[in-house]
Amino acid sequence: MNNMTGLIDYGMGNMHSIAKALERAGGEVRWIASPEELQQVQRIVLPGVGAFRDCVQALERTGLGEAIVEQVRAGVPFLGICLGMQVLMDVSYEFGEHRGLGLIPGAVKPFPASHPERGFKIPHMGWNDVVLSSGRGSHPVLAPLAGRQVYYVHSYYCAPENPQHLLAACSYGDFPFAAAIGRDNIVAVQFHPEKSQKAGLAMLESFIRWHP
């Protein structure tokens, strides 16, 4: 019980597949539906599928948003997946303008409107690269992904303000976007590790062993 991973259950997301992937990676998983439960885990995973606004509203309604911010600021290792990465930003422009958790400065934006006309369907879906940021060594959680491809499904992307917060990139057509962001005890990915086979499993194993 000394390395329990809390999987945030706010009524959205592919919880079962992520829980199974974390267990296969060697993690003990506890589903978290209240702020009180969040205080009993040693690391946090926030999954997400669906609309930014609905996710943020659910986190606010349950009190989990505030509790996540509190635990992250206290140093608990945190992994955000897909929408769980996007809600870390200050603001999203998906169906209007909505405030995020503000843990990483930046915005969530749509792919260029011209993309579909140029033959790039939205959402960006399928296997693509994850190019680790060079210059300061690859992030310990992301290191197993070097030279491998992962599985993406998304129509919006994160644009962090601070280049230091960009941990890995990808391009859809000729348009680059953030594949992974993070700082301190936060790491978050736009792709789905639970759908990324061996590469995704290796990354989840690294997260479970990570002590920032």
CATH of the domain at 129: 3.40.50.880
> Residue 123, preceding bond cis, omega within 30 degrees?
yes
- The fraction of the chain above a pLDDT of 70, given in percent, is 98
| Distance in angstroms (rounded) separating the CA atoms of residues 208 and 212 | 11
Q: Rounded to an integer, what distance in angstroms lies between the CA atom of residue 188 and that of residue 88? A: 9
Q: Which position has the higher pLDDT, 180 or 119? A: 180
Min mean pLDDT across 9-18, 145-154, 185-194 is at 9-18
**Alpha-carbon distance 20 to 27, whole Å?**
9
Pairing status of strand 156-160 against strand 106-110: antiparallel
Q: What is the pLDDT of residue 63?
A: 96
- Cβ(207)–Cβ(81) under 8 Å? no
Residue 191: give the domain boundaries.
4-209
Among 64, 7, 85, which Cα is nearest to 41's?
7
Q: What is the mean pLDDT of residues 20-28?
A: 96
Q: What is the pTM of this model?
A: 0.96
Active site residues: 82, 192, 194
How much is the average pLDDT of 14-35? Answer: 94
pLDDT at 1 over 60: no
Q: How many domains does the chain have?
A: 1
- Looking at residue 196, its pLDDT comes to 97
pLDDT of residue 100: 97
Higher pLDDT, 141 or 133: 141
pLDDT band for position 13 (cuts 50, 70, 90):
low
